[in-house]
Amino acid sequence: MFLCNHKQAASKMDAPSTFFDIKLRGHFRMRIPFHFLKYRQIFRTKFLALMMASGLVFGGVSAQAADFELMAKKARGQTVYFNAWGGSPQTNSYIAWAGSQIKSRYGVTLVHVKLTETADAVARILAEKSAGKTRGGSVDLVWVNGENFASLKRQGLLRSDSWAFALPSFAYTDAEALPGIISDFANPTDGLESPWGRAQLVFGYDTQFVPNPPRSAEELANWIEKNPGRFTFPQPPDFTGTSFLKQILLEVSPDKGIFAAPASEADTKTALAPLFSWLDRVRPRLWRGGVKSPPNYTSLVQPLGDGELAIAMAFNPAEFSNGISQGILPDSVRTYIHDAGTLANVHFVAIPFNASAADGAQVVANFLLSPEAQIRKANPELWGDPTVLSIPKLDATDAKAFADLPRGMATLSPADLNRTLPEPHPSWVGVIERAWMARYSAN
Amino acid sequence: MVRIAILLLCLMPVAVGLLGAILPALGWFPPLGEYHFSFQPFVDFFAQPGLRRSLYLSLSVGLLATFLSYWLAMFLLAILYGQGRAGFLFRLISPLLSVPHITIAVGFLFLLQPSGWLSRLFSPWLTGWQRPPNLNIVPDENAFVLVLALIAKELPFLLLMGLSALSQIKVRPLLDTAASLGYGPLAGWMHLVQPQLAARLRLAVLIVMVFSISVVDMAILLAPSTPAPLAVRILTWFRDPDLSYQFIAAAAAVMQLACALLACVIWVGTDKAILFLIARLSAAGQRFSRLPSSFVSALKKGGVILAVWPCAMACFGMLAALIWAFADIWRYPSALPDEWGLNAWKYAYISLGQATLNSLVLGLVTAAICVSLALLWLQTETAKGDKHAERLIYIPLLLPQIAFLFGMQILLIWLGFDGLFLALIWAHSLFVFPYVMLSLAPTWRRFDARYLAIAATLGAGPLRRFLAIKLAMMTLPVLTAFAVGFAVSSALYLPTIFASNGRVMTLTTEAVTLAAGAGRQNLGIASLMQMALPLCVFLICDRVARVRLARFSFFKL
């Protein structure tokens, strides 16, 4: 009942052997070996990714399948601690379902460690590295993307043998059609993380209070000025909150080109000025006068249902349909996006360098990426997260299953959703967040 | 020997934990490759935006909540002591003692926010509101709701501690003496009882102060977030994906420690000043006899109402949470759910079942261990002395949790205990053991040793004397201490997430997660379970003790 059997699992570890051959003299001597290893592995993964992109590796699918069989055999009996944000009942139920499937097929036990923030898991993996815990770690699989991934990657906290490219299910993806699956916020994944789902920023509005929703940053600011207290956004550094700021920034900036390059190459103060003049305009008229921002996008749903908010946002296109079917939202709620398009990106699962059940974690990642699991995930009645798979690469039955998925009453069609904005370079995330904090935490 | 071992168990993690904050605060943190001492972390910390506001929020919430709960509790004791109504009131307030802090916070959230129950009850027939008004409350700019919620939780604690202290003071004769000299009951109380009471309550008040100033779980729900109070920001910094924030977090943890110290100094100073003032008034023979009696009775009534209303609001809020647990659809402005039902329970069964079980087992085991340790501690007590050693066990309560838990997590990982059930029990015991001692020690020490002497003359050995006489007669206080321990354990938030690596969910951690998600139903169910568990443990303990004692007919219970 108490989840503490990683001790036994540790002995069954199969992590890259180079990692553990080095004898640590003290508990805090890890840094040096890490650096040595990183270069070799970065080279290896870069090379692999390159081959993938040029289609060289797919010839070896059957060999990979055999490797995977072997790994699945080793994984039997392992317990995988999946650290994933647990604020949404749909997500939690979906992970519970995946756990039951994985248990019956592979004999791997999946435990969902529900996080309030993914950064918790990052901090924990760091704490383990701090204490010299190079194996038997408490996190086996973590749901990440963007900044958290960049941080884990930079600190060498991830399992680094490009395992994600070797998963059998990865063959159903198409990195040319969807570059986001190998480049997370323009940061190469190097196979350190396996794609899980796609997200796009959408807005939900209650037609009782908003007959014509504002379809641009400028119109939104005007609307907020006329309707004080009825709009807010999650507090950066929350993922959706920061994304909303990026969205506004991209819309109001005269020169959008600079955001494709690293922030260090631009004059950030000038670059962010249009965003802050927009925010200065709306801030006094945000929900609760701006003294409290909700922690994440799901906590906008209940206030939208109550009528405290009239416009909310989500990173899941099916969020508002879900809210209606659960009875949290009235059926007068609909979804819209800005005319200029909205931000879209991919989210992933990654394995920490010291995972206790690395085999089991790969089995789980592979299952989560399988057509079967992806079809269920895309079902708006269950979750409604768009798939990362490439439909042309699927067999006819699976392709049909995707085509036949129902669409909720408040969900936009794929055609309506096809206007997307490219993510700025990941280095902008920190710049925007710090600047936002400095400006709006201070008063 | 035993006592030293217990002290070591309690203090070693705290000491290491503090070092784990202080060293990185001074720039020394080998895991991130920093081996040089410097004040850079503090420089960076003070450069953080909105710091003044965060410090102001922490200090104002802590001081206000402590001063108000203390003086309201003292006032209630003064006017209600020895009166029939008092018993009823205390019985009404005391269940609040066993409810976790986060549940009270959820209650205030559900009651007071613009779309909360209060607004629903009076809309639209009185207010005309068809949709929630645009009001900046819950949270408000100055976190007054957080102060209210803290009072609702701390006032009952101080009342209980006050009652326990009063039982050591001969109140009746003191008041009679005062009356014979022409002092009214309130004046007599102020001159003779209050100074003694204040001295005995100092530890309890400091515990309340440190807790209020560094509270995290309640503040996440009820305080502003741009910026948040210091303790909440420290947690955010510890969790920041940019690992250089670890240094700032450590420096901030040290500052949190300093803030708590400052608040305690302010408290002790004010307390001394007030006692000095009372002494001057006593010397002058101030009897307040010129105050009109109507004013005095109005003051009494006003005081009672003022003291009871945060608690009453907490109760209404929790009632709202209960209703949400059974509401399928509840639109604004309906006063009651539009559709009752158990929809949310299907999900709760999957997600909260494990958390409930974890809370239950963790609480029971921790409480059992801590009660045993407390008995060991009390039994090995020598006649006098040891006072200093006993003060040491309260240290974990007198330090802000966030200041030493990160460092303690590193210790646990280093020992290979992290994520183990053992680590959780250990971390919980640091906080549970002192409360068990607070609850058990005064009654245990008042035991009439002559019973043991009689038993000894009848030939009973030491073990038999302990088991058959002392423990048997002390069943009620021991089981009460057990229930207190369980309640404390089930309310702990930071120690649980730090010691369990976030792996073990309890109802409290689950409630904080749910509060940051969609749908009030699940939060309502979590709150219901959080109210039910400690209450059940209390009731069962009480029942068991009474049944056991009923065999001795002379214990009229």
- Per-residue DSSP letters for B72-125? HHHHHHHHHTT-HHHHHHHHHHTHHHHS-HHHHHHHHHHHHSTTSHHHHHTTTT
Residues of chain A contacting B139 with CB distance shorter than 8 Å: 288, 291-292
Q: A-B interface: how many C-beta pairs under 8 angstroms?
A: 208
Quick check: B289 contacting A, CB < 8 Å? Answer: no
pLDDT of residue B473: 87
Question: Could you tell me which of A440, A421, A443 has the C-alpha nearest to residue A202?
Answer: A421
Q: Do A151 and B224 touch (CB under 8 A)?
A: no
Residue A235: which of A294, A311, A316 has the closest Cα?
A294
- Nearest Cα neighbor of B97 from B488, B532, B431, B508 is B488
User: Right CATH number for A200-344+418-440 from 1.10.1040.10, 3.40.640.10, 3.40.190.10, 3.30.390.30?
Assistant: 3.40.190.10
DSSP H or E segment with residue B327: strand B327-329
Question: What letter represents residue B289's amino acid?
Answer: S
Give the number of C-alpha atoms closer than 13 A to the C-alpha of residue B113, restricted to the C-beta side.
Answer: 25
How would you write the pLDDT of chain B (557 residues) with one tens digit per residue? 788 898 898 899 999 999 989 998 998 887 777 788 889 999 999 988 889 999 999 999 999 999 999 999 999 888 887 676 767 777 777 788 889 999 999 999 999 999 999 999 998 899 989 999 999 888 899 999 999 999 999 999 999 889 888 888 888 899 999 999 988 888 899 999 999 999 999 999 999 999 999 999 999 999 999 899 999 999 888 877 677 888 999 999 999 999 999 999 999 999 999 999 999 998 888 888 778 888 888 988 898 898 889 999 999 999 999 999 999 999 999 999 999 999 888 877 877 888 999 999 999 999 999 999 999 999 888 766 567 788 889 999 999 999 998 888 888 878 878 778 899 999 999 999 999 999 898 888 888 889 999 999 999 899 999 988 899 888 889 999 999 999 999 999 999 988 887 778 899 998 988 887 767 898 999 999 999 999 999 999 988 888 877 766 555 54
3-state class (DSSP) for residue B340: strand
Q: Which residues from A are below 8 Å from B144, CB to CB?
A: none
Determine how many CB atoms are found less than 10 A away from the CB of residue B398: 18
Facing B503 at nearest CB: one of A138, A237, A437: A138
Residues of A in contact with B243 (CB under 8 A): 126, 151, 155
pLDDT at A261 over 90: no
Q: What is the pTM of this model?
A: 0.84
- pLDDT above 50 (res A59): no
Do the chains contact at B329 and A30, CB–CB below 8 Å? Answer: no
Question: Residue B227, preceding bond cis, omega within 30 degrees?
Answer: yes
pLDDT tens across A96-117, in order?
A: 999 999 999 999 999 999 887 7
How far, in Å, CA of A414 to CA of A165, rounded?
27
Picking from B40, B252, B52, B222, the residue whose alpha carbon sits closest to that of residue A441 is B52
Q: Taking Cα atoms as reference points, which of A367, A208, A220 lies closest to residue A281?
A: A220
Range with top average pLDDT, A16-25, A70-79, B385-394: A70-79
C-beta atoms of B502 and A299 within 8 A: no
Q: State how far residue B508 is from chain A, nearest Cα, in angstroms.
A: 13
- Across the interface, do B241 and A308 touch by the CB < 8 Å criterion? no
Asked if B243's CB is within 8 angstroms of A1's CB, the reply is no
Q: Is B350 on the interface with A (CB under 8 A)?
A: yes
Looking at residue B397, its pLDDT comes to: 94
Choosing among A38, A100, A225, A291, which should be mutated to test the B contact, i.e. which has the most B CBs within 10 A?
A291
Return the SS3 of B29. Answer: strand
Nearest chain A residue to B138, by CA? A288
Long-range CB contacts for residues B386-394, cutoff 8 Å, separation at least 24:
B386/B3, B389/B3, B389/B7, B390/B437, B390/B441, B391/B203, B392/B7, B392/B10, B392/B11, B393/B6, B393/B7, B393/B10, B393/B433, B393/B434, B393/B437, B394/B203, B394/B207, B394/B434
Residue type, A170: F
CA distance A7 to chain B (A): 9
Q: What is the DSSP letter of B246?
A: H
Show the domains of chain B with their CATH numbers: 1-36+343-557 (1.10.3720.10)
Identify the DSSP state of B144.
Answer: H
3-state secondary structure chain A: CCCCCHHHHHHCCCCCHHHHHCCCCCCCCCHHHHHHHHHHHHHHHHHHHHHHHCCCHHHHHHHHHHHHHHHHHHHCCCEEEEEEECCCHHHHHHHHHHHHHHHHHHCCEEEEEEECCHHHHHHHHHHHHHCCCCCCECCCEEEECHHHHHHHHHCCCECCCCHHHHCHHHHHCCCCCCHHHCEECCEECCCCEEEEEEEECEEEEECCCCCCCCCCHHHHHHHHHHCCCCECCCCCCCHHHHHHHHHHHHHHCCCHHHHHCCHHHCCHHHHHHHHHHHHHHHHHHCHHHHCCCCCCHHHHHHHHHHCCCCEEEECCCCHHHHHHHHCCCCCCEEEECCCCCEEEEEEEEECECCECCHHHHHHHHHHHHCHHHHHHHHCCCCCCCCCCCCHHHCCHHHHHHHHCCCCCCCCCCCCCCCCEECCCCCHHHHHHHHHHHHHHCCC
Name which of B225, B414, B503 is nearest A293 (Cβ-Cβ).
B225
pLDDT, residue A2, reads 37
| Substitution target from A24, A114, A280, A315 for chain B, most B beta carbons within 10 A | A114
Q: Is the peptide bond before B139 cis (omega within 30 degrees of 0)?
A: yes
Q: Does B519 touch chain A (CB under 8 A)?
A: yes
B536 neighbors B360 (Cβ within 8 angstroms): no
**Model confidence at A311: pLDDT above 70:** yes
> Do A200-344+418-440 and A6-196+345-403 have the same topology in CATH?
yes
Q: Is A75 left (phi over 0), alpha (psi -120 to 50) or beta?
A: alpha
- A24-33, A46-55, A320-329, B143-152: the lowest-pLDDT one: A24-33
Nearest Cβ partner of B357 from A1, A81, A111?
A1
Does B501 lie at the interface with A, CB-CB under 8 angstroms?
Answer: yes
The predicted pLDDT at position A408 comes to 83
Specify the pLDDT at position B312: 92
Distance between CA atoms of B30 and A7, rounded to whole angstroms? 26
* Inter-chain touch B502–A115, beta carbons under 8 Å: yes
Report the alpha-carbon distance of residue B300 to residue B306 in Å, rounded: 10
Contacts of B409 in chain A (CB under 8 A): 127
- Per-residue pLDDT of A371-393, as tens digits, reads 999 999 998 878 888 899 998 99
ipTM of the complex: 0.87
Chain A residues within 8 A of B337 when measuring between CB atoms:
none
pLDDT over threshold 90, residue A184:
no
Amino acid B27 reads: G
pLDDT bracket for residue A362 (50, 70, 90): very high
Domain extent listing, chain A: 6-196+345-403, 200-344+418-440
Q: What is the mean pLDDT of residues A396-414?
A: 88
- Going by the DSSP 8-state scheme, the letter that residue B223 receives in this structure is S
- Quote the pLDDT of residue B383: 61
Please report the pLDDT score of residue A128 as a whole number.
Answer: 86
Tokens of B294: 């109507």
Is 80 exceeded by the pLDDT of residue A342? yes
Distance from CA of A46 to the nearest CA of B (A): 24
CATH 3.40.50.2300 fits A6-196+345-403, yes or no: no
Round to whole Å and give the CA distance between A64 and A70. Answer: 10
Please report, rounded to a whole number, the percentage of residues in chain A having pLDDT higher than 70. 85
Q: Which residues of chain A does B519 touch, with a Cβ-Cβ cutoff of 8 Å?
A: 89, 301-302, 326, 328
- For B41, the token pair is 């972390």
Whether the predicted pLDDT of A25 surpasses 70: no
Q: Which residues make beta-bridge pairs with A334? A: A205
Question: Chain A partners of B352 at a C-beta cutoff of 8 Å?
Answer: none
Q: DSSP string of B277-313? A: HHHHHHHTT---TTS-HHHHHHHHHHHHHHHHHHHHH
Question: Under DSSP, is residue B202 helix (H, G, I), strand (E, B) or coil?
Answer: helix
A426: its two tokens? 């990941």
Q: Which of residues 134-193 of B touch A (CB under 8 A)?
A: 134, 136, 139-141
